[in-house]
Every structure is written in structure tokens, then in C-alpha cells.
Homo-oligomer: A and B are copies of this chain.
Amino acid sequence: MSQYLELKREVYEANMELDKRKLVTYTFGNVSQIDRKAGVVAIKPSGVAYEVLKPEDIVIVDLENQRVEGKLNPSSDTKTHTYLYRTWSEIGGVTHTHSTYATAWAQAQIAIPCYGTTQADYVYGEIPCAAVMSDERINGDYEEETGAQIVECFADRSPLESPMVIVAGHAPFTWGKDAAKSVYHAVLLEEIAKMAYLTKTLTPSIGDLKQGLVDKHYLRKNGKDAYYGQGK
């Protein structure tokens, strides 16, 4: 019997939540979670529809993308997920979607500015946009390079300060302490991206939210003296 039953079940449920929250069309999207002790990642199989997906279909790979358990091919984006896990020890789950509004911003190839406290409650500042990939990198190890380009957006910033990114011409990736939290951030990103779209088309000249309000909202929820919620 598989030693990864619980890990597979959590990743299965996080993937189904994506579908339930209407963030995916057909087979778009995939969620993974790492077991750092075992050094393995559980991820959705490639091209399998949510309505037929079963917990036992979840594929287990190691951090070098070798299949450890499972009969199906893992998501074609697996190398992007493992790149993020190898680089950022502070994350435990990764979600990739083509959710409508977040993808529109990615296609427009611009970072999502922080226009309001809805975003500042979860992201410290703008949501970065990874650059359009060079031909050299596309023709190299494409999915690995996608991971590398995401990480380059966080040269001066912790990945926890924006648990979400959009990749120019492509779509968003989000992360969190586990698979469920990365899906949670994917849902928030889509809502934030929709509000930002409406704001910018309503008033194209609108500037970013003032730093004082970003600080106040981000820190009352995420700072060391946070007073939102019911404590830890």
C-alpha cells in the first residue's frame, strides 16, 4: 500500500477545489504539494479531466522530476513546480491555473498594481509579472525556465510577500504552506485581478494605493503585531 495516501488525498482535494471554484475549464490547471521529509511532490496527472480524476491518479515525483509512484504522466508543468520547491524552502504547495482575469493581465504583460486594500490584505505591493521568455530559454528546458523566471521576480522580495505571480503571455502561478493554501491564493488572485481590471478600465490614470494603506492592511493581517482573525 502506498505510503503517500494522505498526500495524494490532499492534492486530489485541492485540485477538485480549483474545479469547484470555477477557476478551470476542462483540464486547465494543476495543483501540487511537497512532502519535504520524504523529498517527494504529489501532482495532478497531465490532461486528465476533473470529473474523472481520482485520488489514486495523483502522481508522485521526486525533486528531479522522476516518477516515484503512479501510472500516469505528471502535469507537463511539473518542472516549474519542482523548481519553485527546490528554490523556496518556505512553500509547501503550488497551483497553476489559466483563470480568466489573471490570465488577461498576464496576456497584457503587466504587473498587477496594488489599487486597494483587498490586495494589500494578502500581497505586500504589486503582483509581479515574469518577463516574456527569450527564444534561447524557450528552446532550452521550457518548463524549468518558467520556474527560473518566476524566481527572478523575487530577487528583492520574499515569495511570501506575494504568494502569486503572473507569467507574461501565459498565466498565473500561486503558492502557500500547502496545496489547499495555494488554491486559496489562486481564488484570491482571480478576484483581485478582476477588481484591478475594472479599476483600470474605469480610470486608466489611477495610481497605486498609498504606501501607508498598504502597510496598514498587510501588517494588520500578516505582520508580527497582526490583530486580524482569531490568533494562531
Chain A interface (Cβ < 8 Å from any Cβ of B): 25-26, 28, 45-48, 72-73, 76, 98, 100-101, 103-110, 115-118, 132-133, 135, 138-139, 142, 169-171, 184, 187-188, 191, 194-203, 206, 209-210, 212-213, 216, 220, 227-231
Q: With a CB–CB cut-off of 8 A, which chain B residues contact A203?
A: 108-110
User: A230: which B residues are within 8 A, CB to CB?
Assistant: 45-48, 72-73
User: Are B26 and A76 neighbours in the complex by a CB distance under 8 Å?
Assistant: no
Provide the residues of chain B in CB contact with A200, threshold 8 Å: 202
Q: Is the pair B197, A202 in contact by a Cβ cutoff of 8 Å? A: yes
Q: Within 8 Å CB of A169, what residues of B?
A: 115-117, 209-210, 213
Q: How far is the CA of A27 from the CA of B208 in the complex (A)?
A: 24
The contact sample of 14 A-B pairs, CB cut-off 8 A, is A25-B187, A25-B191, A26-B184, A26-B188, A46-B228, A76-B229, A100-B195, A107-B115, A107-B209, A108-B202, A110-B202, A117-B169, A138-B212, A201-B201
The answer to whether B108 touches A229 (Cβ under 8 A) is: no
Q: How far is the CB of A219 from chain B (nearest CB, A)?
A: 11
A76→B227 contact, CB < 8 A: yes
Nearest-neighbor residue (CB-CB) of A227 within chain B = B76
Interface centre among A109, A110, A142, A188, by most chain B C-beta atoms within 10 angstroms, is A109
Bound-state Cα–Cα, A133 to B184, Å: 29
How far, in whole Å, are A100 and B169 apart by their CA atoms in the complex? 24
Q: Are A216 and B47 in contact (CB under 8 A)?
A: no
Chain B residues contacting A28 (CB-CB under 8 Å) are: 118
Question: Is the CB–CB distance between A104 and B199 below 8 Å?
Answer: yes
Contacting residues, chain B, for A109 (C-beta < 8 A): 203, 206
A201 and B171 CA atoms in complex are apart in Å by 18
Given the complex, which residues of B lie within 8 Å of A198, measured CB to CB? 100-101, 104, 107, 197
Measured in the bound complex, the distance between the Cα atoms of B110 and A100 in whole Å is 21
Complex Cα spacing A26 to B121, Å = 13
